[in-house]
Chains A and B, each alone.
Chain A
């Protein structure tokens, strides 16, 4: 089974609202990353949080990590229509190369 499970599977919000996505994983990690994928295209790296960090910010993005619960959340504030995409968490194993992606959350932001 996949390392990362995400919820919700799909999220539809109005422009200007906040969007929160959650990710859970099963084994110990060095870090957790979030990626965005626009429909049918390559993934874009958003943010990386290390296992000794609890929270990290980048622009309108806020990521939290709870290693005791093996979970992470991604918050996008003041969402825009351009944020419409699929969002994946990813964890790495086997010396950092074996990357496993969560199931993903499909976000739709209505203008």
Chain B
């Protein structure tokens, strides 16, 4: 199984809502990533978890809160978002190894619209 799944596919939320994005993989990967991608732009790294510990936080606003409850699951909790946070949110996973990157497997993304 080389699939990364993400739910929901689409999400519309108001600025006062609280919602969560979910990502799951069963490839035994111990590194998991969240990216944000605006239209016609490359993905921008937000967070990286390695062995369920937060390894990288790219100075992301606190209204985005990641969580890695176990080695297969990655969540992104959203609260008090702004309209400019509307984007495609991509989850990825890979084998972890320091000093060298491995290929990342991406999920299909969650299209988020903040109204």
The answer to whether residues A45 and B103 also contact, given A40-B111, A102-B42 and a CB cut-off of 8 A, is: yes
Q: How many residues of B contact A (CB 8 A)?
A: 32
| Residues on the A chain within 8 Å of B42, using CB | 2, 88, 101-104
A94 near B: Cβ within 8 Å? yes
B101 near A: Cβ within 8 Å? yes
A31 to B102, CA, bound (A): 9
As a 0/1 sequence over residues 65 to 106 of chain B, the CB contacts with chain A under 8 angstroms (1 = contact) are 000000000000000000000001010100011111111111
As a 0/1 sequence over residues 43 to 61 of chain B, the CB contacts with chain A under 8 angstroms (1 = contact) are 1110010100001101000
A92 touches B101 (CB 8 A): yes
A20 near B: Cβ within 8 Å? no
A99 to B31, CA, bound (A): 12
Provide a sorted-by-A list of 6 A–B residue pairs whose CB atoms are within 8 angstroms.
Answer: A40-B88, A40-B111, A97-B33, A99-B104, A100-B45, A101-B44
Which residues of B are at the interface with A, using a C-beta cutoff of 8 A? 4, 31, 33, 40-45, 48, 50, 55-56, 58, 88, 90, 92, 96-109, 111
